[in-house]
Amino acid sequence: MTGGLVLRLRPHEKFLVNGVVIENGARRTRLRVKTQDAHILRIREALHPEEADTPSKRLYYIAQLAVSGDAEGADTIESLVSGLESLRVAFGEQICAAELEQAVELAKAGEFYRVMRALSRIMPIEEALLNGVPAGSEDNENEQQQ
- 32 in the same domain as 71: no
β partners of residue 40: 17
Mean pLDDT of the chain: 87
Which phi and psi angles does 98 have, rounded to 5°?
-65, -40
Residue 94: pLDDT band with limits 50, 70, 90: confident
- 68 in the same domain as 124: yes
Closest-CA residue to 69 (of 43, 26, 38): 38
Which phi and psi angles does 20 have, rounded to 5°?
-110, 130
- 33 in the same domain as 15: yes
Specify the pLDDT at position 92. 87
Share of the chain above pLDDT 90, in %: 58
Whole-angstrom distance, CA of residue 110 vs CA of residue 102: 12
Q: Which domain holds residue 17?
A: 5-44
- 118 in the same domain as 59: yes
